[in-house]
Amino acid sequence: MSDTSPHQVNEPASAGSLFDMIAAGVRFIAGLALVVLVLIVSAEIVSRFFFNHSLRVVEELAGYLVVGLTLFGASLAVRKNSLFQVGFIFDALPHALKKGLSLIYMALSLAVCGVLIWYTLQLVLSSWSRGNVAPTFLMTPLWMPQLLIPLGLTFTAIFIIERAIITLRHGGTD
The residue ranges of every structural domain in the chain are 14-170
Q: Tell me if 126 sits within 8 A of 44, measured CB to CB.
A: no
What is the three-class DSSP state of 141? strand
pLDDT tens sequence for the chain (174 residues): 444 444 455 667 787 889 999 999 999 999 999 999 999 999 999 999 999 999 999 999 999 999 999 999 999 999 888 876 667 777 788 888 888 888 998 999 999 999 999 999 999 999 999 999 999 999 999 999 999 999 999 999 999 999 999 988 876 545
- How far apart are the C-alpha atoms of 139 and 77, rounded to whole Å? 33
| pTM exceeding the 0.75 threshold for the entire prediction | yes
